[in-house]
Amino acid sequence: MKLMVLILNKTDVLDSLLEGLSAAGLGGATIIESSGLATTLSRLDSSFISSSIRAILSGSEDDNRTILSVIRNDQLEIARKVIYNTVGDLSSPNTGILFTVPIDFVEGTRKNRKMFEEMAAKEQEELEKPLPKQENENDEEPKKRKLFGKKAKKKEETEEKQDS
């Protein structure tokens, strides 16, 4: 699972974007009003920004929206397509920034709890697989990722039962 973060500068497309994400099956999101550093400094009349930069920023949209959504790994490409079809190419100036952060624990999600648990179990299985060797590694045994929390305890119990 991932936390998808979209900092949307083109706020005029927000409604269409949210409708598109919802139609694609990405139902839950939190929208936060936000602003960038340069915009905030220009409001403060900061000496860090020259008057020429202030003039450029004064005509632009002051605020943006930050959209946070917990998604399954397989939903990222769908979300990207909806975002690109609605917002446009994010490499264009004043469009937005999209990134994800891996999630190892989620609680309090809506009706899809069982689905999230199943996805988390599959992802945990992937994490338990040995890491691929890097080119600069010597011939040591591949390392396994360490488990924490309930899953680690459950794995320990399973291993103890198998040893008995």
CB-count exposure of residue 8 (10 Å: 0-12, 13-18, 19+) = buried
pLDDT digits (tens, 9 = 90+) for 57-88: 544 556 899 999 999 999 999 999 999 999 99
| Of residues 163, 158, 88, the one with CA closest to residue 124 | 158
Whether 37 contacts 69, CB under 8 Å: no
pLDDT digits (tens, 9 = 90+) for 116-156: 566 667 766 776 777 666 665 455 554 555 555 666 667 67
Can you give the pTM of this predicted structure?
0.58
Q: What fold is seen in the domain 2-102?
A: Alpha-Beta Plaits (3.30.70)
Domain boundary assignment for the chain: 2-102, 109-129+145-164
Distance CA 51, CA 42 (A): 9
Integer angstrom CA distances of residue 147 from 21, 56, 158: 33, 50, 14
Q: Kindly report the length of the chain.
A: 164
Residue corresponding to tokens 């994490």:
127
Q: Which of 28-32, 90-94, 133-137 has the highest mean pLDDT?
A: 28-32
Whether 116 contacts 109, CB under 8 Å: yes
